[in-house]
Amino acid sequence: MRKILVINRLGIGDVVLTTPLAQLIKENLSARVGFVVAAKAADLLVHQPYIDDVFSYKSKSVKTLIKQIKELGYNEAVIVDGRLTSTFLAFRAGCQLRNKGYGITIGKKRLFSPKPHARRAILDYASYIEYLQPNIHFDNLSPVIGKLDVATYQKIDEWFNNQSFGAKTVLIVSQGLTENKNWTQAGFSQVTQGLNQQDIIPIYVGSRENEAYINQIVGEKVSIAGQFSLRELAYIATKADLCITICSGPMHVIATAKIPIIALYGPTSPERWAPSHAQVLKSKLSCVPCETLACTHTVPNYCMQEITPAMVLAAVGKQLKLEV
């Protein structure tokens, strides 16, 4: 049996969008599939139906990771993240390199990154199947993350049934790791207050690091920042009517629930990154999308500021059939 290691140590969203590659490998090659991902994304892939082994990458324990990969007998590797360090990792683990990455990051600059194989990220990542077996046809790809155990589903059901979110259930992802992709707290405050006027108490999601940011947003809301894992968030999303979100990892997790999404986009390309069913709100500036980590506009993050609360509330009203 072929034992194929997929390495993508990029962000949470990248990992979610790489899961269709695991499905293609399983269904076409009947191989054992292992994923090496950043520690923050590892839990997403636990009990994922097409992934046999999940390796959590931590820079301080690379030797242990290599030992684990060797012990399980992985002998082929696909470098999806395009990183030189991932190439070295696979080589040291004794894997045959089906492709190589040479990318390095210096400060906020990324050098020698691979050219995209396809415009949409999900198709780009899936196309790495060509390195393993050419001429495999694929379309209608959907990301799939790991399942929860029965007790956890029941715990979330009980929590949800004991809450009151008003007329509709709306999730909001308000802050990500990349500052120039974030919208304004003032904008989220106005949206929250507008939802309150429609008898909606939005649920703000995020990590512990987002708590202070969320607490400063004005209006009645429920914050579950840091209270649930990303896999649990995906199940919570199945109970929601709508999600308002910036371009972020949790957006891709929530998108697996296939609920309506209003996505706020600035520096990144919605054509490449937005879920296919999302309603995208974006700036009309000529520099959009710049696809850079640092904004060079005279007004920092101006592209995100061009998205107004009125635009968001109008989109919410249309999605939920409200008089906003």
- The Cα-based distances of 165 to 36, 117, 193, 196, 215 in angstroms read 38, 43, 14, 10, 17
In angstroms, the CA 242 to CA 94 distance is 46
Domains and CATH numbers, the chain: 3-131 (3.40.50.2000), 150-320 (3.40.50.2000)
50-229-36 Cα angle (round to 5): 40
In tens digits, what is the pLDDT along the chain, a chain of 324 residues? 999 999 999 999 999 999 999 999 999 998 999 999 999 999 999 999 999 999 999 989 999 999 999 999 999 999 999 999 999 999 999 999 999 999 988 776 777 788 877 789 999 999 999 999 999 999 889 999 999 999 999 999 999 999 999 999 999 999 988 888 999 999 999 999 999 999 999 999 999 999 999 999 999 999 999 999 999 999 999 999 999 999 999 999 999 999 999 999 999 999 999 999 999 999 888 888 877 767 777 677 888 989 999 999 999 999 998 875
H/E stretch holding 63 reads: helix 62-71
